[in-house]
Every structure is written in C-alpha cells, then in structure tokens.
Amino acid sequence: MKKLLITGTAGFVAGYFIEFLKENEIEYDILGLDIVDKLSCDYPSYKYKRINLQDKELIKEVIENFKPDYILHLASISSVSESWSYPVESFVNNTNIFLNIIESIRELQLSTRILSVGSSEEYGNYPSDKMPLKEDYELKPCNPYSVARVSQEMLSKLYADNYGLNIIMTRSFNHIGPRQNDKFVIPSFVKQLLNAKTTGTLRIDVGNVEIVRDFLDVRDVVEAYHKILIEGKIGEIYNVCSGNGIKLKEIINMVAEQLSITPEIYVDKNRLRPTDNLIIVGDNTKLKSELNWQPKHSLVQTLKDMITYQEKFYGKEN
C-alpha cells in the first residue's frame, strides 16, 4: 500500500480529505502530523504523530522512518487577518515549515510526490477586467500571509526545477463548507444569521462585504487536491477555484433567504483589513482540462449544508 503523509491533520481540509478517501475506498497507509492533539479518525491504517514542523531534525527523522510516497502538506497558519497581527508567525508557519519538509526530502533523496498548497491571495490586487486570474499572472502579494505563500511557491519551483523534487503546487481560492471554524468569514456570517433568527436581533456586524471572492466547496477542493497530488505535472501550479466571483454581501443575502430573515448589516471598522484585495476570481481551466476535475457542489447547496451543520452544532431548533 502506498504511504501518504498528511500535515495539518487537525485542520478543516484534512478531515474532508480523509473522508473523501474513505468514501471512494482509496487506501493509503496514512501518517498524520499536527501540532495539536490527535483527532479521532476511523480511517483504516491511520497513524498520528504530534510534531512541531519548525523542528527540522525531528521532521527529517519522521520522514526518514516513514518514507512517504506522497505528502499532502496542509499545515499552515492560513488566516490573512491573523497574519497582519502576527506576521513573523505567519511567515515561519507557512514558508519555513514547508522548507523544512522539502529540504528533508532533498537530503534523504526520496522521490516523494509533494503537494504544496498556495493561495489566491498571492496574486494581489488586479482590477476587475483582469479576472479571472490565470496561473501565469505576475504575483503582487500585499499581506503577510500572501508574502509567505509566494515565498513557499518560489521554493517549490526551485526545488522542483533544480533539485528534481516531485512538487506540484496549487493556488487555492477561498474554500467553505460545514465544520469550518467561524473565525472565517462565511461560517461567521452563518453563525450570526442563525443567531439573528433565533433571538430576533437582526443586527449583524461585518467587515468589508463589497469584496468579491471565489468560493469553492471544501469537498470539491479535496477531490482536486487528490487529483493534483497523484496526476499533476511536476513543477506546475494549478488554480483550485470555482471560477465564479460573488460579493460577500450576496452571500449574506443567500443565507438570509434560506433562513427567511432580513438582517441589518453593520460595518465594523475593526474588521476592515489594511489592504484588502477587492476582487479575487480564479480561472480553473488548467485544472479542468489537464486533470479532468469538475466541481460538484453548488454554492446554494454548500450554504445549506453549512446552515444545517451549525444548527446541529449549536443545538438550535429548525
């Protein structure tokens, strides 16, 4: 059985990735790594190790012992807003931890295929008429998180092109789905709107809801990641996105409609970021045409599933 190392197994995406494997009866010998405690996981042959990926010697030892065929590197501090407050932590826990992994693979001379997850934030501010964003655009990162991701991507390209490592890269656009932490924007909207419905207090506090983003259901994301990890071309970058842009305000309206409420939207200046990209919409042609991937979840369905999940999670009645 092929061996798969997953970093960041306590995170939102890893959970769905493992569910995807189970549902599709795809078998790997999995070793999960995270800095926090082990999650319950009923995937057969799943092992877990708690580790700080900043510890280069330790990660190298783990890789040397496990000798993975594949690495799905999901560990990251992936919040843009947190990166403004903690730029060094964001940099180290994106760029440096990734460098520790690929350097271990280089030193050990393994032929492991590695998925390096990047971000749509790497593109920076492009005007509307440049949408959708294509993989060959120049990168103009303008927040600490995206600087860290661009650095990671440059290292990926270097290690693939010059040291012969089998690295494939993504630029992943916003993903959403049930179980997403409500520090992220859409689950936060859902939570507030559900609360508004229950309490009758229709006020919800938001940041800049005029910005346009490209949201992809996490279940479509993990299917894309598996395809890219197994079949993607070495040294290449794939946008992982829906291809559709939507204003955050529109999403609030869609959720409110499903809940049959009319919220009062207040803009909280503390939630405005120093430099927000106004519009981010991706082009997924490469992923679709090269790897025969198609998203399967509509935005309406995803939001419905997120509402259902939070209703259960917070014990609300329908």
* Shortest spacing between CB 59 and a second copy, in angstroms: 12
Q: Which is nearer to a second copy, 179 or 271 (CB)?
A: 271
Q: Which is nearer to a second copy, 80 or 254 (CB)?
A: 80
* Shortest spacing between CB 148 and a second copy, in angstroms: 9
Q: Which is nearer to a second copy, 150 or 221 (CB)?
A: 150
Contacts 24+ apart (CB under 8 A), 46-52: 46/18, 48/9
* Shortest spacing between CB 211 and a second copy, in angstroms: 17
Q: Which is nearer to a second copy, 53 or 194 (CB)?
A: 53
* Shortest spacing between CB 46 and a second copy, in angstroms: 30
Q: Which is nearer to a second copy, 1 or 278 (CB)?
A: 278
Residue 276 in tokens: 């927000």
How far is the C-alpha of 262 from the C-alpha of 196, rounded, in Å? Answer: 9
* Shortest spacing between CB 235 and a second copy, in angstroms: 12
Instruction: Count Cα atoms within 13 angstroms, Cβ side, for 290.
Output: 17
Residue 216 in tokens: 């992809």
Residues near a second copy (CB under 8 A) are 56, 84, 87-88, 91-92, 95-96, 99-100, 103, 106, 138, 141-144, 147, 150-151, 154-155, 158, 161-162, 274-275
How far is the C-alpha of 126 from the C-alpha of 203, rounded, in Å? Answer: 32
Question: Do 213 and 248 contact (CB within 8 A), yes or no?
Answer: yes
Q: Which is nearer to a second copy, 38 or 60 (CB)?
A: 60
* Shortest spacing between CB 121 and a second copy, in angstroms: 12
HEC string of the chain equals: CCEEEEECCCCHHHHHHHHHHHHCCCCCEEEEEECCCCCCCCCCCEEEEECCCCCHHHHHHHHHHHCCCEEEECCCCCCHHHHHHCHHHHHHHHHHHHHHHHHHHHHHCCCCEEEEEEEHHHHECCCHHHCCECCCCCCECCCHHHHHHHHHHHHHHHHHHHHCCEEEEEEECCEECCCCCCCCHHHHHHHHHHHHHHHCCCEEEECCCCCEECCEEHHHHHHHHHHHHHHCCCCCEEEECCCCCEEHHHHHHHHHHHHCCCCEEEECHHHCCCCCCCECCECCHHHHHHHCCCCCCCHHHHHHHHHHHHHHHCCCCC
Q: Which is nearer to a second copy, 100 or 180 (CB)?
A: 100
Q: Which is nearer to a second copy, 101 or 185 (CB)?
A: 101
In total, the chain counts a number of residues equal to 318
Q: Which is nearer to a second copy, 32 or 207 (CB)?
A: 207
* Shortest spacing between CB 2 and a second copy, in angstroms: 28
* Shortest spacing between CB 103 and a second copy, in angstroms: 5
* Shortest spacing between CB 263 and a second copy, in angstroms: 31
